């Protein structure tokens, strides 16, 4: 490995960060805590990932993006998209009637945006109500969180673990004997939390069983679809079962456990089951079967509705502000305003991937991890969250101490109008792009931009080697992409008529272990030092080509400190002569 001065400085910084960062001690002394910005000014930085948790004294406060080092432009762009999606686009339906977006970085609420309507339509066909009956969305509109409810149940489970009532690797049947039916006697609590139990995704409990007792019995006695531990299959039945388990071991109803263990301690006054403030609720779907009409202020999920609105898989209602408090409590290691809902070690346990055997389905204990399909540029192994069928999204990025919340009523008036995943990605990407990637050398670096199905090229002027040994191209690269979006270094000796891929070796956190012709990688958030050797050739041209596929972009690619040299001297110093590059799609971004 060829170490430059900047590489050594970077490694020293990483070593210092590893020494001074880490999980919060059980009873930290306030004077010893680094604070929200950490020891090294990580606020507003994407390329300076933090370990451990934020200060337990971090509380939410309002502020502008610039106050915490964020670029407001990408956030504005994302919000413009969300606003546009509340209206029909040509012949396409609106993506959703309304939305509330809330973004947090380092404890600062940098965005709390409202658009569209909580109620707009009269029926499943999308007939609009008279305009005077439309209900505008509000900052404190209450949303059916749908499957985000699973996080509340998971937290309650872990509270029972902390209390010594539950062990994650004990069979569920120890706590709920009837669950043993149909060969399920050995399935553990952990299997339910990670969706590797083998249970089917769900059953029409509301339709095929007449009352709550029979529906609970059917859920508990459900037959396996797969052998336990052989497949990842997201299942509502897992969390319905866990809700029952928590009630059995604690002797209290699930809604009481959520209220007393989570929402009351955290001051989440608008969060819970079966909300009373229905005038603030965002409408969901018009349902003819079952004949419920326009659903508003009642849980949308039919199974949860048939269980009285309280179930382990769905039923929680909340606001963006309340969800931000929960997110900050998690970032703080389980505490907020001096009230602890989980130990820091328990939060850390919930963030560890249990599903390494199922690539693409990383899952902690209740939390989904590293899911680019809705986390996009915020994705990493330390990014946790969940989505809800009604159009909700909750993302907590522990590496940047950030929260991205998007609450929509995308099933209003019908679930058949399609997915709101593009909006989820847009908001996460907007926050990711607002976080800075700083140049390693000088005041600027080349940025690939982001976007689907695009190619960006950065080419050198034609070079004239003067030595007898190999030509080296060295540079720093920050690569945050999905595996199918790649950066290539290519060479040409015929004035660009043809190009050959160049094998290069990258060094740094998350870098490939050997020389490769393409670079990609998501979640490591580290600059790499890259060294490529080429044979001597007159009229040599190099280019860096970044190619993306149809979906997901990550944070993109940065190049800095480009230098081409041989034993005869420097052929190109990109820091001194950026004008010697020809660019198509790359931007020279200044610090």
Distance between CA atoms of residues 115 and 86, nearest Å:
8
Three-state SS at 506 = strand
Q: Provide the residue ranges of all domains of the chain, joining segments of one domain with +.
A: 66-434, 444-590
pLDDT score recorded for residue 71: 97
Residue with tokens 């809700």: 243
The candidate with the shortest Cα–Cα distance to 113, out of 320, 270, 322, is 320
Identify the pLDDT of residue 42: 81
**Burial of residue 384 (number of CB atoms within 10 Å: 0-12, 13-18, 19+):** buried
pLDDT at site 522: 84
Q: What is the dihedral of CA 382, 386, 391, 393, to 10 degrees?
A: -30
Provide the CATH topology of domain 66-434: Beta-lactamase (3.40.710)
Angle at 85 between CA 83 and CA 87, to 5 degrees: 95
Q: Of the candidates 352, 426, 339, 417, which has an alpha carbon nearest to the alpha carbon of residue 79?
A: 426
Give pLDDT, residue 8: 38
Q: What is the distance between the alpha carbons of residues 219 and 238, in angstroms, rounded to a whole number? A: 9
Contacts of 575 (CB under 8 A, 6+ apart): 441, 442, 561, 562, 563
Query: What's the confidence (pLDDT) of residue 480?
Result: 96
Rounded Cα distance, 139 and 115, in Å: 9
* Distance in angstroms (rounded) separating the CA atoms of residues 96 and 239: 27
* Strand ranges (E), 81-203: 98-105, 108-119, 135-136, 143-144
Cα–Cα distance for residue pair 80/39, rounded to 1 Å: 35
Look at residue 8 and give its three-state secondary structure.
Answer: helix
pLDDT of residue 4: 43
CB-CB contact of 260 with 160 (8 Å): no
> Which ranges constitute the DSSP H helices of 183-277?
189-193, 205-208, 212-220, 236-250, 254-258, 264-266
Handedness of CA 331, 332, 335, 337 (dihedral sign): negative
Residues near 250 by Cβ (< 8 Å), separated by ≥ 6? 160, 165, 257
| CB 46 within 8 Å of CB 435 | yes
* DSSP, residue by residue, 174-192: GTSGGGGTTTTTT-BHHHH
- Rounded Cα distance between 375 and 369, Å, is 9
In sequence order, which ranges of 277-377 are alpha helices (DSSP H)? Answer: 302-306, 320-331, 344-350, 372-375
Question: What's the confidence (pLDDT) of residue 41?
Answer: 60
Strands 61-62 and 587-590: unpaired
CA atoms within 13 A on the CB side of 581: 28
Please state the separation of Cα 224 from the chain's center in Å.
Answer: 30
Q: pLDDT tens per residue, the chain (591 residues)?
A: 344 434 433 443 333 333 223 333 333 333 323 433 343 468 999 999 999 999 999 999 999 999 999 999 999 999 999 999 999 988 899 999 999 999 999 999 999 999 999 999 999 999 999 999 999 999 999 999 999 999 999 999 999 999 999 999 999 999 999 999 999 999 999 999 999 999 999 999 999 999 999 999 999 999 999 999 999 999 999 999 999 999 999 999 999 999 999 999 999 999 999 999 999 999 999 999 999 999 999 999 999 999 999 999 999 999 999 999 999 999 999 999 999 999 999 999 999 999 999 999 999 999 999 999 999 999 999 999 999 999 999 999 999 999 999 999 999 999 999 999 999 999 999 999 999 999 999 999 999 999 999 999 999 999 999 888 899 999 999 999 999 999 999 999 999 999 999 999 999 999 999 999 999 988 899 999 999 999 888 899 999 999 999 999 899 999 999 999 999 999 999 999 999 999 999 999 987
Q: Which two tokens stand for residue 373?
A: 């399909």
Please check whether the domain covering 444-590 is classified as CATH 2.60.120.
yes
Are the C-beta atoms of residues 511 and 413 closer than 8 Å to each other?
Answer: no
């Amino acid at each position: 490995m060829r170490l430059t001065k900047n590489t050594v400085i970077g490694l020293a910084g990483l070593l210092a960060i590893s020494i001074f960062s880490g999980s919060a001690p059980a009873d930290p002394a306030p004077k010893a805590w680094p604070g929200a910005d950490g020891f090294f000014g990580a606020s507003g930085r994407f390329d300076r990932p933090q370990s451990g948790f934020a200060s337990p004294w971090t509380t939410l406060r309002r502020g502008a993006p610039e106050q915490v080092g964020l670029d407001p432009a990408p956030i504005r762009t994302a919000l413009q998209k969300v606003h546009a999606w509340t209206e029909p686009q040509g012949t396409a339906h609106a993506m959703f009637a309304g939305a509330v977006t809330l973004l947090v970085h380092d404890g600062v609420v940098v965005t709390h945006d409202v658009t569209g309507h909580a109620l707009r339509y009269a029926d499943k066909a999308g007939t609009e109500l008279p305009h005077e009956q439309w209900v505008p969305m509000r900052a404190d509109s209450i949303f059916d969180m749908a499957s985000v409810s699973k996080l509340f149940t998971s937290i309650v489970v872990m509270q029972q673990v902390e209390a010594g009532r539950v062990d994650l690797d004990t069979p569920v049947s120890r706590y709920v004997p009837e669950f043993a039916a149909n060969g399920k006697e050995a399935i553990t609590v952990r299997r339910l939390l990670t969706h590797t139990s083998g249970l089917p995704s769900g059953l029409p409990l509301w339709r095929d069983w007449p009352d709550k007792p029979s529906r609970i019995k059917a859920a508990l006695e459900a037959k396996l679809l797969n052998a336990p531990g052989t497949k990842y299959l997201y299942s509502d039945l897992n969390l319905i079962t866990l809700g029952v388990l928590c009630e059995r071991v604690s002797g209290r109803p699930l809604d009481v456990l959520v209220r007393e263990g989570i929402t009351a301690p955290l001051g989440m006054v608008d969060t819970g089951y079966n909300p009373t403030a229905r005038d603030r609720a965002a409408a969901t779907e018009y349902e003819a079967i079952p004949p419920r009409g326009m659903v508003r202020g009642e849980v949308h999920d039919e199974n949860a509705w048939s269980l009285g609105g309280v179930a382990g898989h769905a039923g929680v209602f909340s606001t963006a502000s309340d969800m931000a408090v929960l997110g900050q409590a998690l970032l703080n290691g389980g505490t907020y305003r001096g009230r602890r809902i989980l130990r820091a070690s328990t939060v850390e346990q919930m963030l560890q991937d249990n599903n390494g055997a199922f690539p693409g389905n990383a899952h902690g204990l209740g939390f989904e991890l590293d899911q680019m399909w809705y986390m996009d540029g915020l994705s990493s192994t330390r990014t946790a969250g969940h989505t809800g069928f009604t159009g909700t999204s909750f993302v907590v990025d522990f590496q940047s101490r950030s929260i991205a919340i998007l609450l929509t009523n995308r099933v209003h008036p019908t679930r058949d109008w399609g997915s709101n995943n593009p909006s989820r990605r847009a908001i996460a990407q907007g926050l990711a792009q607002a976080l800075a990637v700083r140049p390693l050398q000088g005041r600027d670096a080349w940025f690939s931009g982001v976007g689907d199905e695009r190619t960006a090229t950065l080419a050198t002027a034609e070079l004239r080697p003067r030595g007898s040994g190999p030509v080296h191209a060295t540079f720093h690269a920050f690569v945050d992409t999905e595996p199918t979006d790649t950066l290539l270094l290519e060479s040409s000796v015929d004035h660009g008529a043809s190009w050959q891929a160049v094998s290069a070796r990258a060094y740094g956190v998350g870098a490939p272990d050997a020389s490769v012709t393409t670079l990609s990688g998501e979640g490591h958030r580290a600059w790499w030092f890259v060294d490529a050797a080429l044979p001597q050739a007159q009229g040599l041209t190099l280019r860096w080509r970044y190619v993306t596929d149809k979906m997901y972009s990550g944070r993109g690619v940065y190049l800095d400190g480009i230098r081409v040299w041989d034993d005869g001297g420097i052929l190109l110093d990109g820091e001194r002569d950026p004008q010697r590059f020809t660019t198509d799609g790359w931007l020279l971004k200044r610090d």
